[in-house]
Amino acid sequence: MLEVKTIGLFFITAIAEIVGCYLPYLWLKQDKSAWLLLPAGLSLALFAWLLSLHPTAAGRVYAAYGGIYIFVAILWLWVVDGIRPTLWDVVGATVALFGMAIIMFAPRHG
């Protein structure tokens, strides 16, 4: 059950980070309103807070989170950008997820 909660929290965290970065991208690259920077800042603050909710060492959380971030970014590519991921995108995201699982769920001694 802990694994499901951890992965779910990572997914929510990744969405908060991607939204926090995507909104300024829209402002800078697609000439959207500068008002997008306000929800972007809030989203990035939420991202930082969500990372702090994990009960393990920060470095381990950041390293493992990267795997989920990669997976969610590939989903974003497909759902938001409308670009179908390639086989290599899927393979890379799968490798990243395995890396996340090893880092977060491997047995620890002492």
Q: Is the pLDDT of residue 62 over 80?
A: yes
Transcribe 70-84 into DSSP letters: HHHHHHHHHHTS--P
pLDDT of residue 110: 63
Share of residues in the chain with pLDDT > 70 (%): 99
Ramachandran region, residue 109 (left: φ > 0; alpha: ψ -120 to 50; beta: rest): beta
Q: Is the pLDDT of residue 48 over 70?
A: yes
Triad 107, 13, 84: Cα angle to 5°: 100
d(CA 66, CA 99): 9
* Per-chain mean pLDDT for the chain: 93
Tell me the three state secondary structure of residue 64. helix
90: Cβ contacts below 8 Å, ≥ 6 apart: 74
Tell me the three state secondary structure of residue 106. coil
> Over the stretch 49-60, which tens digit does the pLDDT of each residue have?
998 898 787 888
Read off the pLDDT band of 102 (50, 70, 90).
very high
pTM for the whole structure:
0.87
Counting every residue written for the chain, the total comes to 110
Reading the block at residue 85, the tokens are: 């991921």
Q: Is the pLDDT of residue 2 over 80?
A: no
